[in-house]
Amino acid sequence: LKQLNEMQKEQHLTDVVLYTGEKEIHCHRTVMAAASLFFKKMFTSGMKESREGEVHLQEIDFNALSLIVRASYGEKLKLNGDNVQSILEASDRLEMREYIDDCIIYMCNHMDSDNCLDLYLISKKYSHDQLKRSVVEYLVFGDNFADCMTCSDS
């Protein structure tokens, strides 16, 4: 995988270009298909993207997509408070279960009274029961309900 990673960075033997807005990422279909059910379906179903070598991904944040592609080539998925939601959204759209799980774990581990209600809304939007349970546990069993209500009023 290390050699593929270097080849992707140098754009050697890449066979597909992912576009988001005006920006592009060159990569290998096999790597993306192995990491993503979305790409696997696309590249094995005879869709035009599999023949043309271009995939236009509207509504996916370029920075999130870049980090996801890097992780698909073996790098650690670099999550932080500023990018975790956009990476979750992109991973959900691209059907990348491993990265969705990484985002949920990150969110659960970084929950506090300032973000718990937002995380609950995210859990509902994406139907992530693990995150929803964690928020409920944080509120009910962590005795943090009053703190969260105070934060949501500010």
Q: What value does the mean pLDDT take over residues 121-149? A: 81
C-alpha torsion sign, points 81, 82, 84, 85: positive
Residues whose CB is less than 8 angstroms from the CB of residue 7 and which lie 6 or more positions away in sequence, other chains included: 13, 14, 28
99: number of Cβ within 10 Å: 24
Per-domain residue ranges of the chain: 2-77
Helix, strand, or coil here: 21? coil
Asked if CATH classification 2.170.150.20 holds for the domain at 2-77, the reply, yes or no, is no
- Per-residue pLDDT tens digits for 73-127: 999 999 999 999 999 999 999 999 999 999 999 999 999 988 988 999 999 998 8
Checking if the pLDDT of 57 tops 90, the result is yes
pLDDT in tens, 21-50: 899 999 999 999 999 999 999 999 988 877
Give residue 41's pLDDT. 94
